[in-house]
Amino acid sequence: MRFSGKLWRSLVSGWRDRSPAVMPRRSRRAGLSWDCLEGRAVLSHFGGFHHGFGGFGGGLPLRGGSSGSTRNSQLTQDLQTLRNDIRTIQSQSAVTVAELVALRSDFQAIAQTGFRINRQALQQFENDLVTAVAAGTTDTSALQMEFNNLFTGSSVSPTLINRTFNDALKIAQDSHITTADLNTIAADQAKIQADLAANGGSSLGGRSCGGGIASASPVHLLIPGF
């Protein structure tokens, strides 16, 4: 089942002032449509959602010529491999809309206190959370402490902080991502980075052909918006 763009926007509307929160994967999974057309690799946003790491749009014109065409073909192939791997991993997800709505409500409640979470620190926690869960970690006390530290000096209640942590933990667990999955995506990204380097660089006005994909956290690719 695919979410409509309208539903995606509804789910994330409460998170615009913070680092993007967890978004759905398959069993109700994000659609990902990528096109490499006329020497440009153009990757669409998941469900209309614009990611915190700059999005997948843009598209860097790649160098022409026979060797350039070969390199373009390799980039297209490696992007397709990444796409397929993401879809395969996402197909194991059991994350539900109800779980996502619950987390959305948590962050809305936090925003209503007037407190703004540090974006980089939150993204680090998200990576640490999913990585630990993927490795089979059952003792979450260190993760809980890391999350609690995000709210140092705030007026956010411990009850709300704990609920938000538990809702995020539930999504990480239900994603069914494994360490092997994260390694697979990282390896795919490394190939894309090599393709971009072979084309003489990957940036154009701060945007790139596949550059957002190559530099994004595997966690953010596998759980769109997390």
| Mean model confidence pLDDT for the chain | 75
* pLDDT over 70 at 22, yes or no: no
Rounded-to-integer distance, Cα 152 and Cα 209, Å = 39
Q: Are the C-beta atoms of residues 123 and 226 closer than 8 Å to each other?
A: no
The answer to whether 51 and 224 are in contact (CB under 8 A) is yes
Compute the C-alpha angle 169/174/178, nearest 5°: 95
pLDDT tens digits for range 128-151: 999 999 999 999 999 999 999 999
pLDDT digits (tens, 9 = 90+) for 58-112: 333 334 444 555 667 899 999 999 999 999 999 999 999 899 899 999 999 999 9
Q: Is the pLDDT of residue 32 over 70?
A: no
How much is the pTM?
Answer: 0.68
What's the distance, Cα to Cα, between the start and end of the chain in Å? 20
Does residue 218 contact residue 131 with C-beta atoms inside 8 Å? no
Q: Residue 187 is part of which domain span? A: 1-226
How distant is the alpha carbon of residue 39 from its chain centre? 26
Q: Is the pLDDT of residue 39 over 90?
A: no
Q: Summarize the confidence of residues 104-121 as an average pLDDT.
A: 96
Question: Does residue 201 have a pLDDT over 80?
Answer: no
Q: Tokens for 92?
A: 């194991």
Of the chain, the percentage scoring pLDDT greater than 90 comes to 52
Rg (CA), the chain: 18
Q: How many domains does the chain have?
A: 1
Amino acid (1-letter code) at residue 52 = G
Q: What is the DSSP string of the chain?
A: ----HHHHHHHHGGGTTSS------TTS-----EEEETTEEEEPPGGGPPPTT--S---PPPP-HHHHHHHHHHHHHHHHHHHHHHHHHHTT----HHHHHHHHHHHHHHHHTT----HHHHHHHHHHHHHHHHTT----HHHHHHHHHTTTT----HHHHHHHHHHHHHHHHHTT--HHHHHHHHHHHHHHHHHHHHTT-S-BTTB-SSHHHHHS-HHHHHSTT-
Tens of pLDDT along 152-180?
Answer: 999 999 999 999 999 999 999 999 999 99
pLDDT for the residue 103? 92
pLDDT of residue 212: 78
